[in-house]
Amino acid sequence: MSNRIDGIGRWKGISMQKLLFFLSAIGLWAMASAEPSLEIRQVRSFDTGWRFLQADTNAAQEPNFDDGTWQTIDVPHDWSIAGPFSPDAPAGGDGGFLPTGISWYRKTFTLPATWTDKLVFIEFDGIMANSTVWINGRQIGQRPSGYVSQRYNLTPHLKATGRENVIAVRTDTTVQPDSRWYTGQGIYRHVRLIATEPIRLGQWSTFVTTPNISEDQAAIRVQTDVVNSTGNATEVAVQTLIYRPDGKVVAQGTTPIKTIKPETTESFELELTVPEPIRWDIISPVLYTAHTKVILQDKTLDDVITPFGIREFRFEPATGFWLNGRNFKIKGACVHHDGGAFGAAVPLQVWQDRLKTLKLLGINAIRTAHNAVAPEFLDLCDRMGFLVMNEFFDTWKIGKRPGDYHRFFDEWALIDARETVRRDRNHPSVIIYSAGNEIRDTQRTEQAKRILASLLDVYHTEDPTRPVTQALFRPNSSGDYDNGLADILDVVGQNYRENELLAAYRQNPKRKIIGTENSHDLNVWLALRDNPPYAGQFIWSGIDYLGESRQWPAISTPFGLIDRAGGLRPRSYQRQSWWSDEPMVHIVRRIGRNEPSPIDPGYEASTDGRFRVLEFSDWTPMSLEPHTETVDVYSNCEWVELFLNGRSLGSKPKPADDSPRTWQVDFEAGLIKAVGSNNGKPVATHEHRTAGEPAAVRLLTPRSKLSRDWNDVVRVEVQIVDEKGVLVPNVRHKVTFSISEPGIIAAVDNADVFSHESFQANFRSVYQGRSWVWLKAGVEPGQCTLTAESENLKPATLTFEVK
């Protein structure tokens, strides 16, 4: 039996035959799993029916306050993304020139009769920012960070079943600029109510680990806390059942009974064994499920469900990263939390589409730059097979912006770190934590060492199974490699300056090293490729993000492999040629850094050279007159042959340094084509055709069905094409959209960093011949039709089924 999968290397612990049989038998190709259901604990979405005011007001926390004139909305809700863009916005370019300030949310609700005598909690996955929460006029909590989850006990202040309760939330981001970069505003992540018995499992206390794994069995350790909020001592045990992805119980057990005193918490631990484990891996992200219950005699008092993965990994100084017995490079991308046109309130399908594209490019890891992400984002990484560097802090005590988290670090940092680690530690995708990005405290060595040691103590206490790194910034300037700070870290991380990091390894070969933030340049990739100790890199950035503009009119960055709307930038194909195992070839035109850019006046108006567009994925230059074009072909194939209108322009072998294959081509309108070959056989092709005059609108989408789920949206690409269907890249046509019920236009975009058109509109101008529209489902099922029209062009339609 083979222990290799598609030539990737040994996947320790399972044969290919067993894997294929298991996956096909239980339908894991779609990463689906049959999870058990909660028996006692009740969790209900609290997303719908909020009242919203984008302003400050007096006494809005009081139950009898009249909010009848406020807007009715559902959360997640980012009110900043609605705009307008303004050069005078207090957030400036850091926040994409979008609005900030104070907002209020209120919701009236009654408790179901079945919740009588239960404890009731409200849980927010993220409120931006400096939030205060009231229930029935009583303040129950506040939190400065807009990124962390927060839970509050409503029980002491709730009214009897059947009577109305009012929850009120105030947010305040008036001190600007604040976090880097675009943050969003308001209750921008999901909210839920949780009802439990007074004797319950502690918040995020259940921790499932896999300390020993072999081909025959895996040891599963389940640790959890039970809280007794009653006035009586109680004898309870904890039971856990382990489910395979097909829903079959493969292990179960119960702890010895313990007595829990009134108003105290007891810890429980259970060791189980799973036979013939299927490992979670980037090539097969198999998830098991632990169903943990508090048992009083034969009665279940509370229960939680914990998905987890069986896998083992480590970092080694001399050889880098290992997962399940395989040694490979971490090929990562830094990703901010915004979703382009959706702002910070991002439907999960948007992330799934983006991550799928990154995976096609060969990306196998994500760095959550630079703050805690939504929990469902990590769920998605678990299911899709991404490794994650989980990063929480962009500042410690020395801030980078007036409104930064540094103002609250002393009071809140250890609390936020502890709770976020406990929330995230069951995700198999998470392989390393980052304690901070480009921290300025390192200029004060002793202060920085004290803070870092305190943070590591929290990480290691709450999760001893994962190492901690930090994205060091110019560590040679601050002496981090000589003063002991770097060696506090489990894995030494550095942003950019790859040769400095390699020198730090040579200085102390016991150091484990990783690039935490790296540029797109070829020499950067070679530093990783050619040095076994270098465990991996995280490209800045994987996806364009809102903010980090140094001047108006730019509202976002062009630094990504993927643009803001999900389209591939030309540089992404070079990355694919380095990092993907699938044969590929792609043609781009390249202009000189000092040549005029044909994109639009915005680039010429900007003095920020980072925003210059130098590569074009087309064969339609601005001038069709005779001239010479520089053509780069990105490919991982052994040989590439280039053709122009059927004539061979020659073949070139794969350069040893992975640079592109370049031709100087006398331009002719028509067809340019590249053919990649391995072992003398064609394995990949790519071509461009010269476009004619615009003739029609074309709509492209990967699917035609929508579900009535907030997290589900369909992305439709809009193209301006000539009469032969060739994309016309050098046009700026305005396209207007209409959709029949039950469809809804959720957002529009064109990825242009200089565009100030609203994301929430029924029109969008194209950029480089393209724009995008996202659709979501209305209340009723049925069919809906999207129509896209542009003046003097043939319109296009698509029909979708809403389930």
* Cα–Cα distance for residue pair 613/596, rounded to 1 Å: 10
* Paired tokens of 685: 């092709």
Amino acid, res. 86:
S
The set of long-range contacts for 150-153, using a CB threshold of 8 Å and a minimum separation of 24, is 150/123, 150/124, 151/121, 151/122, 151/123, 151/124, 151/194, 151/203, 152/121, 152/122, 153/119, 153/120, 153/121
| DSSP secondary structure code for residue 518 in this structure | B
Amino acid, res. 199:
I
DSSP states along 211-265: EEE-SSEEEEEEEEEEEE-SSS-EEEEEEEEEE-TTS-EEEEEEPPPEEE-TTEE
Identify the active-site residue in 197, 391, 438, 629.
Answer: 438
Burial classification of residue 444, based on how many CB atoms lie within 10 Å of its CB (0-12 exposed, 13-18 middle, 19 or more buried): middle
Planar angle of CA 741, 747, 753, nearest 5 degrees = 160
Burial 740-775 (b: 16+ CB within 10 A, else e): eebbbbbbbbbbbbbbebbbeeebbbbbbbbbbbbb
* Paired tokens of 732: 């700026």
* Paired tokens of 301: 């008092």
* Cα–Cα distance for residue pair 747/760, rounded to 1 Å: 5
* Cα–Cα distance for residue pair 330/390, rounded to 1 Å: 14
Burial 458-481 (b: 16+ CB within 10 A, else e): bbbebbeebbbbbbbbebeebebb
* Cα–Cα distance for residue pair 180/548, rounded to 1 Å: 7
Q: Quick check: is 741 catalytic?
A: no
Q: Which residues 6+ apart lie within 8 Å of 213 measured at CB?
A: 13, 219, 277, 279, 310, 311, 312
* Cα–Cα distance for residue pair 408/181, rounded to 1 Å: 18
Instruction: Identify which of 304, 122, 323, 298 has the alpha carbon closest to the alpha carbon of residue 223.
Output: 304
Identify the active-site residue in 517, 548, 629, 641.
Answer: 517
Q: In this structure, what is the dihedral angle of CA atoms 177, 183, 185, 187, given to the nearest 10 degrees?
A: -140
* Residue 533 near residue 498 (C-beta atoms within 8 A): no
Q: Quick check: is 376 catalytic?
A: no
* Residue 203 near residue 429 (C-beta atoms within 8 A): no
Q: How far apart are the first and last CA of the chain?
A: 44
Phi, psi of 355 (to 5 degrees): -65, -35
- Give catalytic residue positions: 438, 517
